[in-house]
Amino acid sequence: MAIVLGDNQYGKAENRLVVVSRDGDVHRIKDLTVSTSLRGDLADTHLTGDNAKVLATDTQKNTVHAFAKRQPVGEIEDFALRLGRHFVSSQEAITGARVLVDEHPWQRIEGNGHSFVSGSAEKRTTAVTVDGDRSWVVSGVRDLVVLKTTGSEFHGFPRDEYTTLQETDDRVLATSVTARWRYRTGEVDWAEAHAAIRLLLLTTFAGKHSLSLQQTLYAMGEAVLLARPEVAEVRLSMPNRHHFAVDLSPFGLANDNEVFHAADRPYGLIEGSVLRDDAEDPGLAWHTLPAF
């Protein structure tokens, strides 16, 4: 029996990068949080502290900055691919890279070319993996907070010895959507795809009469796959943020789904994947997400 080094990666996380481009008086900003991590022939640094193959995390950070200048950042997927491919191609010991980018939305303050007010708290995300000459892109949204005041039911569930929940044919359904979708290999109009997929998620959540959050989740994933051939798989994680109709009867008042207490914890958590049965192998696509 020997003790060995297993899976490992290292890099610089959460570089807060803001890039300004100017077109005369009209300025644009890209507000990004960029994390890079590298994989490869890294046993030495672990075993003996020999760092000859360890491209410093500080260097990774500098690279992110320099790349943001060398060429317009463009869409976050492209930026992440450029960075990932650079690390893998420029460092012999480095065989794989993962680049995560969150984009924070800004809106213009009306009538002003260089002033902005923060958009929603929602993030546009991408997680890109490069391994040798292969690459995978998993994009998504996070903190997409939605709520419907009706159109959600929950009944027909088993009643065991611990079940007290009353069935309902009308409840509030509130969640914060984290969605990630794996793109197929090939050309993708990243921005257009993101905007369209986001809208599909919203409209499906809104429109699908829900008999369970699972059913809503599946419908959301399915809607994306039906409309977007460039997507191979959609994974969703959705907390059920419980809104409890408070009991007003002690005060002689009825509560017809009008007055709710929005609870913090606990919350339901519904997670699932919807995919094409002929989807290409995911390879290392999902390994871009925290494996630790």
Please classify residue 243 by burial: count the beta carbons closer than 10 Å to its beta carbon, then call 0-12 exposed, 13-18 middle and 19+ buried.
middle
Judged by CB under 8 A, the residue of 71, 74, 121, 169 near its own copies is 121
Task: Measure CA 162 to chain center.
Answer: 35
Of 190 and 218, the one with the shorter C-beta distance to its own copies is 218
Of 132 and 166, the one with the shorter C-beta distance to its own copies is 166
Cα(216)–Cα(231) distance, integer angstroms: 19
Cα(147)–Cα(175) distance, integer angstroms: 6
CA distances for 52 relative to 41, 94, 124, 206, 253, angstroms: 10, 12, 36, 54, 73
Q: Is 12 a catalytic residue?
A: yes
Q: Is 57 a catalytic residue?
A: yes
Q: Is 242 a catalytic residue?
A: yes
Structure tokens at 124: 């546009």
134 binds its own copies (CB under 8 A): no
Judged by CB under 8 A, the residue of 71, 89, 112, 168 near its own copies is 112
Q: Interface residues for its own copies in 38-67 (CB under 8 A)?
A: 42, 45-59, 61-63, 65-66
29 binds its own copies (CB under 8 A): yes
Q: Interface residues for its own copies in 221-280 (CB under 8 A)?
A: 221-222, 225-226, 233, 235-237, 239-240, 243, 246, 248, 250-251, 253-255, 257-278
| CB of residue 163 to its own copies, shortest distance in Å | 4
Cα(62)–Cα(288) distance, integer angstroms: 21
| CB of residue 188 to its own copies, shortest distance in Å | 18
Judged by CB under 8 A, the residue of 89, 192, 280, 289 near its own copies is 289
| CB of residue 262 to its own copies, shortest distance in Å | 4
| CB of residue 225 to its own copies, shortest distance in Å | 5
| CB of residue 15 to its own copies, shortest distance in Å | 4
95 binds its own copies (CB under 8 A): no
From residue 141 to residue 180, the character string flagging contacts with its own copies as x (rule: CB under 8 A) and all else as - is ---xxxxxxxx-xxxxxx-xxxxxx------x-----x-x
Residue 175 has phi, psi (to 5 degrees) of -155, 170
| CB of residue 137 to its own copies, shortest distance in Å | 17
Cα(260)–Cα(285) distance, integer angstroms: 41
Query: 200-207 contacts: CB < 8 A, separation 24 or more?
Result: 200/224, 200/227, 200/228, 201/141, 201/144, 201/177, 202/144, 202/146, 205/146, 205/148, 205/175, 205/177, 206/146, 206/148, 206/151
- Given the residues 33, 57, 95, 149, the one annotated as active site: 57
Q: Interface residues for its own copies in 176-215 (CB under 8 A)?
A: 178, 180, 202-203, 205-207, 210-215
Query: 15-18 contacts: CB < 8 A, separation 24 or more?
Result: 15/61, 15/64, 15/65, 17/64, 17/65, 17/68
Cα(201)–Cα(211) distance, integer angstroms: 17
Of 147 and 284, the one with the shorter C-beta distance to its own copies is 147
- Given the residues 86, 194, 208, 242, the one annotated as active site: 242
| Residues that are catalytic | 12, 57, 242
